[in-house]
Structure 1
Amino acid sequence: MSVVIKADTNELYRKVLSIKETAADIHQQLLNISGLMSDLGKYWQGDAYERHKTSSKAIVEDMIPIVAMLETRPEQLFKMAGIYETVEDFNKREAASLDPNVIE
């Protein structure tokens, strides 16, 4: 009797880790953008700088809540992957304990 696993928990863990790492990278890049804008103010002054700074700040402010959500979701997805893993392990044990002729 072959056992078919419907959820690949290793793939779930890999994807969740990828999401978590990507969200952390985006967050860091947003902080870098904010830092660069502050540093540019030392060299670039005037209306053009102020408009660029305001525009960049608005983009960063819009993105921070989205990135924060992406940073919190992986914990929930890790829990979900753990549940899948527990259920699939149980299903494998149950399937292995059945008589091979049970379906006939």
Structure 2
Amino acid sequence: MRLEELARRLEEAGDELAGASTTLNIVDPGARVLGADSDGALGQLGRDLHRLLAAALTSRGREASAHGARLAETAHAVRRVAAEYRSAEEDSRVIP
């Protein structure tokens, strides 16, 4: 695999993770699904579970976004390295 191909694939993976970060917030089924609208201890348990679920989805979304950004930075670094390799190859051809 060439460096440009690697950079492209890293960038695509980063984009995929960034997209997943927004999708995770949409996944929340709502508190009612967990019985949060019930009275008493079961309703409280449903509300507590939903609060934990929402916090977990938010955290995973932030993590996915951060990993996506890291992959984009890595793709950029790979492209810089590829450019430096090309430059070194061109310079080596000029030397008599």
The alignment's TM-score, normalised by the length of structure 1, stands at 0.65
2: CA distance, partners of 1:63 / 1:26: 6
Q: Structure 2 vs 1, CA of residues 27 and 62 (structure 1 numbering), >3 Å: closer, same or farther?
A: same
What one-letter code is carried by the residue in structure 2 that aligns with 1:71?
S
Q: Give me the whole-angstrom Cα distance separating, in 1, the residues matched to 2:60 and 2:38.
A: 31
Post-superposition shift, 1:96?
4.5
Looking at secondary structure, tell me which structure has more helix per residue: 2
In the alignment, structure 1 segments of 5+ residues that lack a partner are 100-104
Larger RCO: Structure 1 or Structure 2 (Cα < 8 Å, ≥ 6 residues apart)?
1
The residue number in structure 1 matching 2:38 is 45
Q: Indicate the residue corresponding to 1:5 in structure 2.
A: 2
Q: In structure 2, list runs of 5 or more residues that go unmatched.
A: none
Q: Which has the larger radius of gyration?
A: 1
TM (norm. structure 2) is: 0.69
Aligned pair count? 90
Aligned to 2:83: 89
SS in 2 for 1:45: coil
Task: Summarize deviations over 1:58-93 as a string: whole Å, max 9, x none.
Answer: 222234223212223322321221111111122133
Percent identical pairs in the alignment equals: 4
RMSD of Structure 2 on Structure 1 (CA): 2.7
Structure 1 runs of 4+ aligned residues shifted over 4 Å read 38-41
